[in-house]
Each structure stands twice: as C-alpha cells, then as structure tokens.
Amino acid sequence: MKGRIGKISPQFLKQAYRLIRYRNEWKKFVREIGIRKKQDKLLADRYNPEVKKLVVFVVGGGDWETGKDTISGGIISIVSLCEETAAISDRHGAATIMCTMNEGHLLLKHEMFENKTAVFRFSQLPAYFRSVREIIIHIPEFLVTIFFEGLTKKDKAWLGAIEGLHINVMNQNIRLMPGPTVIEEIKSISPKVTITTAHQKYCTPEFRDTFGVPIHKFSVWISPEQYRFKTWEEKENLIIVSPDQHPMKEEILSHLSEVPGLDVQIIRNLTYEQYKELISRAKWSLTFGEGLDGYLIEPVFSGAIGFAVYNEQFFTPDFKDMETIYSSFEQMKENILADMKRLDKKEKFAAYQKKEFDLCAAHYSKDQYRKNIVAFYENRYTYD
C-alpha cells in the first residue's frame, strides 16, 4: 500500500483535491470527457498522422466555469491567421492545427464569431504526429511563459526530436510582450525564433535589435470591405464604448450623458456578428483601450467617427493630426462634446469620416494582410 501511495503523482493529488473542493472543477471534468472524445475523433478524421510539416496555433482555452469561449480582437486575429495559413498549404506544405496549451481549459470551437476552425489540445500532438520533421508553433505573447511551463516531459522529448523546430511569438499587444530575456530562453530551446506583430508601430529595426530575432508584420484581419457601411443619414445617435477600464472613464461617460438624445452603449456580451450590426448603426465610437484597436477601426469602417487618445506604443505618427485622436484623456474630456456638436452635420461628418476612414484603410488591407502571411512562410521577414 505504501509503495502505491508513493507512486501517486502530485498532479493527480492536486486534481483530486480540486474535484472535491470546487464544484466548477467537477463540472469541468465531466464536460471535458466529451470534448476529449470529440477531439480524438476529429484529429483522426481530419489529419494524416504521417505529415512531415506542422503549423500549430496556441490559444488559451475556454472559461473555467462555463467552458465557453470569450470574444476579443486578439482571439479573432489568431483564428484568422490560422485559417489563412491553412488556406495556403500549397505554399508551405504543412498541416495547420489550433490547440489549447496544457494549462488551458478544453474547447472544441470558438462559438462567439463565425469560423471553421476546430480546437484541439496540445497533449494530443506528440502521440499522433510522430513523423513530424518541421514544426512552427505560434504562441500569443501573453501565453508564452505559461505555455513553456506547462510542457510535459513527453512534450519536451517530442519537440526536442524535431530538427526543424520554429517558435513564433505573436506580439499582438506590446504591453503584454515578454522581455528580451524570455526570448533568449526560448532561443535556448528552439533553433529558430521569430516575432510577428499586429501593429506597424512595434515592427521596426529597433525592436529587431532589442529582441535579437527576425520580426515580421502580420497586421490583422480587419479591412474595409468586411463591414456594413452606413452614412450620417442612416446612423442612430449612438456612441459605442469599449469595455476597457480607465481612471477617467466614468467621468467622460458622465460628460457624454449631457448630450441630448445620445445613447451610450458599452460593448458587453455580444457575439461578433451582433457587434458588427451594432457598430453599423452607431454614429460615434470611443475606445479606452489601446487606441488603435478594433473599437476605433471597425466602427470607422462602418461609417462612424471614432474618438481615441494617441499613444506612442500603437499609433503611427500620421494619426496625430486627426481631430478626434486626442493627446490625453483630459483633452478628450475637454473637447469631445464640442467636437461631436461641430461634426454632427451631414457635410462636415462625411468629410471628416472619410478622412478617418482613408487613414485607417491605408494601414489595414486584406490583400496586404494575406501577402504578409505568405511572406512569413517563405521566410521573407520584414526585418530579418
């Protein structure tokens, strides 16, 4: 008996404790039995175990309590990159798969937005893909440390035996990007390391020198033709607001409540299609997040005027001169009501909206986005 107890792993004991202690853990355990079975069947149905090249996209997983996925620009971007990669298999010759990391809660598919990508678990890969000789693993910046800490001995042995191991860190938000020391640690594991970016602002020779690895701009899936554009006459007197927290958010929203007939809606609990329908009706948008984010660009592509605060981390300098891109939230509070009143006339609205639209369109093109993806797999990096 003593010998048997001695062989029980700490991970097993931890799992047993959590099953007893937390009701949600038991619900998760039962829920994931079914997900595992479906994932195993899907893997066998869709993938040849003898493939020699593999491209893996890592995501965080579902919610612990509900098992459902959450929606964000970041996850939509990763799924889009995965689908665009799968669509050009003739270029890179690899099978493409999306997986949750070992520490993630299992998820079969992202349901909050339209896509056709199944989600597997990383632990399936070593036993199934035994003939892989080349692998690219795309990991979002905020999951890098957790991903590597969660690798099992089996995972490490499998990756260690793959000659063509390539780790790519997807830098979608420079504020979440790990430092150069973490990249150095990855370089000690993988013979090839790259960084891809969502924004032009942190795809520069300076960042190439800082991190010491090739940097390539992917950009994001956003482009004008994907949205339902409506003119000033068709719009409602509605401003949509990003869900981001900010010390001045309540103060600025209180200020907006002074505008007669203006509806203020903070984005919460919407599917992506519901969000796109809402922004097509909105006359204005306001972001408290990165600034150059989906809460600015997507409403602008839908015919709205967007308000944001300029910051050096995300915006390129050509946004500095825009009237509704303020230098600070203090300036936003001071000017936003007067700017809305001034611009809320058919001709003035259309002229300024076009200026904002054209500037965003100059940075976000689906054709260029796809060319950037092809260039990555052909090793033609923005800064090698």
| In the chain, domain spans | 13-222+367-377, 224-363
Task: Answer yes or no: are the C-beta atoms of 372 and 218 closer than 8 Å.
Answer: yes
What pLDDT, in 10s, does the model give residues 171-221?
999 999 999 999 999 999 999 999 999 988 889 999 999 999 999 999 888
Report the first-to-last Cα separation within the chain, whole angstroms: 59
Measured CA to CA, the distance from residue 224 to residue 52 in angstroms comes to 38
CA distance 338 to 324: 11
- pLDDT at 10 > cutoff 60: no
Count CB neighbours of 373 within 10 A. Answer: 22
4-8, 86-90, 158-162, 359-363: which has the minimum mean pLDDT?
A: 4-8
How do residues 295-338 score in pLDDT, each as one tens digit? 999 999 999 999 999 999 999 999 999 999 999 999 999 999 99
| Radius of gyration from C-alpha coordinates of the chain | 23
The pLDDT confidence band at residue 19, using thresholds 50, 70 and 90, is low
Structure tokens at 366: 């689906």
Locate 303 and state its tokens: 């015919």
The closest of 226, 353, 358, 233 to 284, measured between CA atoms, is 353
User: Rounded to whole angstroms, how far apart are CA atoms 262 and 283?
Assistant: 10
pLDDT at residue number 287: 97
Tens digits of residue pLDDT in 119-128:
999 999 999 9
Give 100-121 pLDDT, tens digit per residue.
Answer: 998 788 888 998 888 999 999 9
Residues 358, 175, 76, 232: is their CA dihedral positive or negative? negative
Q: Is domain 224-363 annotated with CATH 3.90.650.10?
A: no
Q: What is the mean pLDDT of residues 286-302?
A: 95
Q: Are the beta carbons of 180 and 211 closer than 8 angstroms?
A: yes
Q: Which helix (H) or strand (E) holds 236?
A: strand 236-241
Please give the share of the chain, as a percent, with pLDDT higher than 90.
80
Residues 6 or more apart whose CB falls under 8 angstroms from that of 285 comprise 239, 240, 241, 279, 295, 296, 299, 300, 304, 305, 306, 307
Mean pLDDT, residues 72-98 taken together: 94
Q: Which of 221, 109, 206, 137 lies closest to 172, judged by CA?
A: 221
pLDDT at 221: 86
Stretch 243-255: mean pLDDT: 95
91: closest CA among 371, 372, 370, 374?
374
Question: Is residue 21 pLDDT above 80, yes or no?
Answer: no
In angstroms, the Cα distances linking 303 to 236, 241, 345, 353 are 11, 16, 14, 7
Q: Average model confidence (pLDDT) for the chain?
A: 91
Tell me the per-residue pLDDT of 330-381, one tens digit each, with 9 for 90 and over. 999 999 999 999 999 999 999 999 999 999 999 999 999 999 999 999 999 9
Q: Which amino acid is at 326?
A: Y
Whether the per-residue pLDDT at 3 is higher than 70: the answer is: no
Q: Which residue has the tokens 């620009």?
A: 73
Give dist(CA 74, CA 220) in Å, integer: 9
Q: Which residue has the higher pLDDT, 21 or 147?
A: 147
Asked if 96 and 86 touch (Cβ cutoff 8 Å), the reply is yes
- In whole angstroms, give the CA distance from residue 195 to residue 197: 7
Domain 13-222+367-377 in this protein, CATH class: alpha beta
Q: Specify whether the backbone of 212 is left (phi greater than 0), alpha (psi in -120 to 50) or beta.
A: left
Residue with tokens 């401003």: 239
Q: Is the pLDDT of residue 68 over 80?
A: no
